[in-house]
Amino acid sequence: MKNLVRVISAILFAIPVAAQTSGRQTQMESTVCTFEDGKEISIQYDGQVDESAKLSMGQLWPHSTRPMLLFTQTPLRIESSPIPAGAFSVYVIPGKKQWTLIVNRNVTSGVEYRQQEDLVRASMETGQVSSGEKQPKLAFGRLAPKRCELRFYYGNTGASVEFHEQ
């Protein structure tokens, strides 16, 4: 399984960062966190969001059939929920006071989101930031040998959630 995750990650990261989608140029971004034992988690996402696909309070994001993708070489935990090693779709639901991170089992390209395939729904800590990001920006930060924090910035809001290596 570990080798499968490495192969999938290598193939996906070898794809050029600019891809043509629905007549518009797409800028793929990624962020990686490496645990102390050398195992990694990463998220790949569309770094250029047009006006029709902006984040809206209370609405699942991304809206399209191109979710963010989470790749993990090691089993994880968010809050008390386990995530096995592998590949998963990731979504957020922004709220005025609370954001939710969703990890979904379905990674099939072009398929609409299905809630029944959710593996984890976790609360994200939110706060005001001065970045003023006009496009969603994600970044991992390693907090401890077995803890990585995913940070999501958009507008004047920052949201974060911790991933714990099991």
| Domain edges within the chain | 2-123
Residue scoring higher pLDDT (98 or 164):
164
Q: How many CA atoms lie within 13 A of 113 on its CB side?
A: 21
Residue 12 clears pLDDT 60, i.e. is over it: no
Residue 49 clears pLDDT 90, i.e. is over it: no
| Residue 74, phi then psi, degrees to nearest 5 | -145, 150
Residues in Cβ contact with 5 at an 8 Å cutoff, skipping those fewer than 6 apart: 71, 72, 73, 85, 86, 87
Q: Which pLDDT score is estimated for 63?
A: 80
Give yes or no for a contact between 124 and 109, defined as CB atoms under 8 angstroms apart.
Answer: no
Tokens of 64: 């399209």
- Residue pLDDT, tens place only, 23-47: 445 678 999 999 999 999 999 998 7
Name the 3-class secondary structure at 148: strand
Residue 18 clears pLDDT 70, i.e. is over it: no
Distance (Å, whole) CA 156 – CA 133: 7
**How do beta strands 68-72 and 86-93 pair?**
antiparallel
Give yes or no for a contact between 90 and 65, defined as CB atoms under 8 angstroms apart.
Answer: no
Q: Which pLDDT score is estimated for 52?
A: 65
Tokens of 28: 């793929």
Alpha carbon 159 to its chain's center? 12
Give yes or no for a contact between 53 and 21, defined as CB atoms under 8 angstroms apart.
Answer: no
Name the 3-class secondary structure at 40: strand
Tokens of 87: 């590949």
Residue 93 clears pLDDT 80, i.e. is over it: yes
Distance (Å, whole) CA 45 – CA 85: 19
